[in-house]
Structure 1
Amino acid sequence: MSITITSNVIDISPAIRERIESRFEKLNRRQVALISPHVIIQKEGQNYLVEATAGVPNDTLFAQAEDENLYAAIKELGQRLERQLNRYADKPLAQRTQTPQPITESEGEEAE
């Protein structure tokens, strides 16, 4: 998977690239194809702001995290993306997507 990483404030070192790629590898466990993931690293005051977008079939995931430590921000970003991806992958299994079962008269009488 090819991840685009951009930053205007720091140079992207091999260690930073490896950390981001390892977080995205964990996302591949859900076996949902990530389309053109893009990570942006910015600095606001003393904190690093890390944003990521990744396309999935018929949707787009977006997350951002902020922390004084860049690696902590990358970890939090990965966790947020993982929660979104879990929701996306489990959506067909959710209760709200199932059709409700009609109540028969015999069941309705027992409830009274």
Structure 2
Amino acid sequence: MNVLLTLLIIVQVLSALVMIGLILLQHGKGADAGAAFGGGASASLFGAAGGANFLSRSTAVLATVFLASTLALAFLGYQRPQASSGSVLESVPAVPVTPAPGAAPAADSASQIPGQ
């Protein structure tokens, strides 16, 4: 169980970091106007329009992996072991309380309320 939890945490952190990098690599909507005046879009790695498609699709895939790992971690974190399903105090053995020798017996609490 711990190996699965560790593996899910590693997948989630790596997908988050790569997704951050891919989002930072993408151009905003205002970048198209700069490319029209010699922004160098034809010299990019994926061509003039291929980069946006590849980056947006890979970001969507990584977002899906991140969401799936988050849901799996939440599910595993919600699972409780069957042995300790109750309270911690239920496992403590009950010790009977005996009055000390020579102590006065406890009085009825209803008779000590003022005004009655």
Larger helix fraction of residues: 2
Higher relative contact order (CA 8 A, sep 6+): 2
